């Protein structure tokens, strides 16, 4: 009971850090289509005071939870399909938290092997900019 009261007093940032600070991967599987809790983890993502992605991305989309959720699924599943069309072997899809002092990121990674046998990991990131605003950063192939 005391634990539940303490959790209720914690800020969203503190709850996120407590839940994911020692977690290497939130989820791992063969396809992002197998994961079902996107909206839950996006809603748990605290607002970043400094919303800077870990790396540079070609495409940055801003919007509310529903918009970012839809664009994210579209991009992730489209890129998976693109890799399969190229006959690349998908090794793993995984979600990992990135926790910095003023920035909280959900990083969506696809690890695959090319036809030449080279292992590559590509990623996309989601940051929360405000109570209802998110930033989705990607350079994945986007089918039209």
- CA–CA separation, 115 and 13 (whole Å): 42
- CA–CA separation, 25 and 35 (whole Å): 13
Within 10 angstroms of residue 106's Cβ, the number of other Cβ atoms is: 23
Q: Which has the higher per-residue pLDDT, 6 or 10?
A: 10
Are 76 and 143 in contact by the 8 Å Cβ rule? The answer is no
- Tens-place pLDDT, residues 124-143: 999 999 999 999 999 876 65
pLDDT of residue 11: 87
Are 114 and 120 in contact by the 8 Å Cβ rule? The answer is yes
pTM of the model: 0.88
Predicted confidence (pLDDT) at residue 8 exceeds the cutoff of 70: no
pLDDT of residue 12: 84
Predicted confidence (pLDDT) at residue 9 exceeds the cutoff of 90: no
- Tens-place pLDDT, residues 17-71: 999 989 999 999 999 999 999 999 999 999 999 999 999 999 999 999 999 999 9
Torsion of CA 15, 32, 137, 54, to 10 degrees: 60
Burial class of 102 by CB neighbour count within 10 A (0 to 12, 13 to 18, 19+): exposed
Q: Where are the domains of the chain?
A: 2-138
């Amino acid at each position: 009971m005391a634990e539940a009261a303490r959790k209720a007093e914690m800020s969203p940032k503190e709850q996120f850090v407590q839940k994911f600070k020692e977690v290497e991967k939130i989820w791992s599987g063969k396809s992002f289509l197998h994961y079902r809790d996107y909206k839950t983890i996006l809603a748990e993502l605290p607002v970043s005071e400094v919303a800077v992605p870990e790396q540079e991305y070609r495409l940055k989309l801003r919007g509310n939870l529903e918009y970012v959720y839809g664009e994210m699924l579209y991009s992730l599943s489209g890129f998976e399909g693109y890799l399969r069309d190229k006959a690349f072997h998908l090794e793993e899809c995984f979600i990992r938290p990135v926790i910095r002092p003023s920035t909280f990121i959900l990083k969506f990674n696809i690890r695959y092997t090319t036809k030449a046998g080279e292992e590559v990991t590509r990623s996309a990131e989601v940051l929360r900019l405000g109570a209802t605003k998110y930033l989705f950063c990607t350079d994945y192939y986007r089918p039209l």
